[in-house]
Structures are given as structure tokens and as C-alpha cells.
Amino acid sequence: MKKIYIAGCGGMLGEAFYQNYREDYKLKCTDIDLNDTWLSYLDFRDLDAYRKDVYDFKPDYLFHLGAYTDLEFCERNVDDTYATNTLSVENAVYIANEIEIPLLYISTAGIFDGKKTLYDDWDIPNPLGHYARSKYAGELYVKEYSPLHLICRAGWMMGGGPGKDKKFIQKIMHQIKNGATELNIVTDKLGTPTYTHDFANNVKQLLEAELWGLYNMVCEGATGRLEVAQELISLLGLSEKIIINEVSSDFFKKEYFAERPECERLINKKLKLRGHDTMRDWKIALKDYLESAYSGYL
């Protein structure tokens, strides 16, 4: 059984990797937030501690998952953002190169400027803020200095359920649970959802086929925040009970002040060309997510 060291495994994506890999691989899952029994402590910004922990485990692969993803936090805490989202990635590259194992790095659709309607794997990023810039800097470093790597770009992440999901789906579910009968949803933000379990399984396919390189990896179907919210309400059977107010991003400008691209829609061009795109339609994935993670929540 091969071994995978997963750094930054305490979030929504880490939960999916743990659930989908634990039967086939021996895992060591670490994070600074010990929110599950299968996690052990590591701050991957500490190169010496990171190196020792990986060396002691002797893995066949190194997965570097963690990052600050709150755009407003990143704008307020610039140095901490680059230490966490960029320098820690350089740490991972050093370690993987030293012991000659492949490295997985997670990138994001947010590295594009939103001026196109769709982005494939070969479009040139143009990050707008410190979150996007720090993530793209990590992507560039992995491409330049890691001889065996997978860089997988996710879109609007959904997964992890109430305990780990800090993104759009959980924010909506939280409002509904607290009795909201009206939701304010933006109409000017476009993207592609990415279900964490589909993502983890598609990574596994690339890993086992040893198809190294950079891949867009999102669910099928270009969409927007409004359509996602409408589908969510429909799946919950609440279309007659909850009113959706259509607003622009300016409505939330005080709370969400960080610059965001208007369009983050990715297409899995390279996965399709290689015949390894197993990402499902986002509506099917959303239904699966709600049934598996939110049963009895409302």
C-alpha cells in the first residue's frame, strides 16, 4: 500500500481526500486545526517541522492542500497570506524534490481576471488580489521547480458539510436554518462549482495514470451564483417558501470588499483531451452533496 502525506488536510477538500483515499493508501493527514481524530498537528509554514514530519513518514506522494481562501482576510493580512499560500508551497517543493516524490498542489479559478467567458488550461492568468496572486505564485513555483507534479485548479468549492464548508452553499444553508425567508443573491458573478469528492477522485485517476502537469478540474456546466442558489432552493423543496432577491455585487461591497473576477468559469479541456474527465454535472453533484452531508440539517 503506497503512502500519501497530506498537508493542510483539515478543510473541506482534505475531508474528501481522506474519505476517498483511506482504503487504498496509507495516509498521514496534518493541519494546524485539529478538527478531526484522523488529523495530527503540523504548521507547514515551518520548513524544518514540515520536512521532519514528511521524512519520518516516508511517503510516496506529497499532497499540499491548505491555504487561506478568505479573500477579505488575505487583503487585510498580506504577509501572512504569502507565508501561508506561497512560501509554504515552496517548502513542499523543497521536500518533495529532496526525497524525489510527486507533489500535488491545489490552485484556483480565482487566478484569472474575469474578462473572458471561459478559461481553459492554457489561458494566461492575471490575478486581481492578494489571494489570487499568492495562489498563482505557488502555481508558478511548482511548475518551475517540481519535476513531477499535479496542479489541479478548482472552481467554486462545495463539500465538507456544516462542519467544514465555509463557502457559498453552507452560507446559504446557514441562513435557511436560521429562518431566512428571503435571500439576496448576486447576478454578476459567474463560475463553475467543484464538488470536493469528485475532485479527489479525479485527482486519484491522474495520480495512478501518472499524467503529471496542470489541469482545470471543475464540475460540468458553466453557471452563476444566482442559478446555483435557485437550484439549491429547488432541491430543498423550498421554492415556494423562499424569495430570492437579485442584487449586484455592490450590495455586499462593505462585507466583501476584495476585488473578485466577474467570471471564473473553467472548462476541463486537458482532462477531456486525455480522456480522464470524471467530473459530473454540478447539479448532479450538488444533489449528491445535499443528500450525503445535509440530511436532517434543516
Return d(Cα 116, Cα 108) in angstroms, integer: 16
Per-residue pLDDT, 292: 96
pLDDT of residue 104: 98
Which structural domains are found in the chain, ordered by start?
A: 3-161+193-222+264-282 (3.40.50.720)
Sign of CA dihedral 273, 278, 283, 284: positive
Residues in the chain: 298
pLDDT confidence of residue 31: 98
- pLDDT tens series, the chain, 298 aa: 999 999 999 999 999 999 999 999 999 999 999 999 999 999 999 999 999 999 999 999 999 999 999 999 999 999 999 999 999 999 999 999 999 999 999 999 999 999 999 999 999 999 999 999 999 999 999 999 999 999 999 999 999 999 999 999 999 999 999 999 999 999 999 999 999 999 999 999 999 999 999 999 999 999 999 999 999 999 999 999 999 999 999 999 999 999 999 999 999 999 999 999 999 999 999 999 999 999 999 8
Contact 233, 242 (CB under 8 A): yes
Residue of 197, 131, 135 lying closest to 164 (CA atoms) = 197
For residue 264, give the DSSP letter: -
What single-letter DSSP state applies at residue 87? I
Q: What integer pLDDT is reported at residue 200 of this predicted model?
A: 98
What pLDDT is attached to residue 174? 96
The pTM for the full model equals 0.96
What are the cell numbers at 45?
Answer: 509554514
In whole angstroms, what is the distance from residue 144 CA to residue 205 CA? 23
What is the predicted pLDDT for the residue at 49? 98
Contact 135, 143 (CB under 8 A): no
Q: In this structure, which amino acid lies at residue 180?
A: A
Q: Which of 71, 182, 89 is nearest to 143 (CA)?
A: 89
